[in-house]
Amino acid sequence: MALSKTEFRTPLARVSGLGSAKDGTNHWWQQRFTAVALVPLVLIFWIIALKLVGSSHAVAAAVLKKPMTAGIATLLIIIGLWHLKLGAQVIVEDYVHHDGLKFALIIAIAFACALIGLASLFAIAKLAFGV
């Protein structure tokens, strides 16, 4: 990239500040990274879920118990909720302009995603390892 005549700072100096959010393109990149991972995960779990429609407790528990299913569900939950946390944060940043409320909502979203994720993972662990 050519430097403009009025710009004395080098490209490195400009990017090292990482912009106003101070995390540069990290948020944007993580959103894409998780999106790419979710494409196959969603499609595979879609096939599993289709077979589970209308099934009894014993059948559903037996399917979720399998290492392959439990593994895919675990990845789907972790990556899906991480993708959700990033996306929901952007919605709040776009529409909520009161600083205090904005930060409170961003923190609440992160906590909610962590809680939903941990509860789901605990359920899968209980199914997979038995009690």
Partner 1 sequence: MESIARPLSPHLQVYRWQISSVLSILHRTSGAVLGMSTLLFAWWLIALASGPDAYATAHGFFSSLGGKILLFAVTWALFYHLCNGVRHLAWDAGFGFKLGTMVRTGWVVVVSSVVLTVISFLLAYA
Binding site for partner 1 (CB under 8 A): 32, 35-36, 38-39, 42-43, 46, 50, 53-54, 57-58, 60-61, 64, 73, 80-81, 84, 87-88, 91, 113, 116, 119-120, 122-124, 126-127
Measured from the CB atom, the residue of 1 and 47 that comes closer to partner 1 is: 47
By C-alpha distance, which of 79, 63, 69 is closest to 45? Answer: 69
Helix runs in the chain, H state only: 11-16, 26-52, 57-65, 67-95, 99-129
Measured from the CB atom, the residue of 107 and 119 that comes closer to partner 1 is: 119
Q: Shortest Cβ distance from residue 109 to partner 1 (Å)?
A: 9
Pair 41, 30: CB distance under 8 Å: no
Q: Shortest Cβ distance from residue 83 to partner 1 (Å)?
A: 9
Measured from the CB atom, the residue of 87 and 102 that comes closer to partner 1 is: 87
Query: Residue 18 — φ and ψ, nearest 5°?
Result: 65, 20
CA distance 81 to 95: 21
Pair 118, 66: CB distance under 8 Å: no
Measured from the CB atom, the residue of 64 and 106 that comes closer to partner 1 is: 64
Q: Shortest Cβ distance from residue 66 to partner 1 (Å)?
A: 13
Q: Shortest Cβ distance from residue 26 to partner 1 (Å)?
A: 15
Pair 115, 123: CB distance under 8 Å: no
